[in-house]
Amino acid sequence: MNIDATFWVAISFVIFVGVLFYLKVPQKIYDSLDESIKKIKKEIDEAEKLKDEAKNILSEYETKISKSKQEVNLLIKKAQNESEKNIIKINEEFHNIFENRKKMAEEKIKQMKMQAIKDIKNSSVDIAIQALEKIIKNSIDKKKLDKIYISSVEEAKKILKNKSI
């Protein structure tokens, strides 16, 4: 019987495989792989939990953002309404002040007109009295003139003062 190198390689391979099974190397490899698979599954489960938590947090923040956008829009609308009210109020106050000043100016004008009329009446009375004095002095004798003049001047003054008051 001729034993060549392939026979010895086959025998050594069988012994090697036997030693491997004897030392439970395939079982250890299987356990190691099983343990790695379990670790990977555990990490995947944790990653999925973290993903779900992240989705929940994201949805919470999105709702918070939408609520804050609504609040900002409400604040902007309130500010616009208040500014419009303030503009209307200031405009009304301006018109009221303007109307008051206009009325005051009209009252001043009326008072000045009344004073001017009064001054004109007084001046015209003085002029009329002076003219009457000249006419009477030139047309009537002195004694009668003095009596008429004094009585008519007094009467004219009383009448004019009553009218001007």
- How many other β-carbons are positioned within 10 Å of the β-carbon of residue 125? 17
Compute CA 132 distance to the chain's CA centroid, rounded to the nearest angstrom.
Answer: 76
Summarised one tens digit per residue, pLDDT across range 98-134 is 999 999 999 999 999 998 888 888 877 777 777 777 7
Four-CA torsion 154, 155, 161, 163, nearest 10 degrees? -170
| 76 vs 80: CA distance, rounded Å | 6
More confident position, 70 or 145: 70
pTM, to two decimals:
0.42
Model confidence pLDDT, tens digit, residues 42-93? 999 999 999 999 999 999 999 999 999 999 999 999 999 999 999 999 999 9
Burial class (CB within 10 angstroms; exposed 0-12, middle 13-18, buried 19+) of 160: middle
Domain map of the chain by residue range? 5-164
Mean pLDDT in residue range 131-140: 68
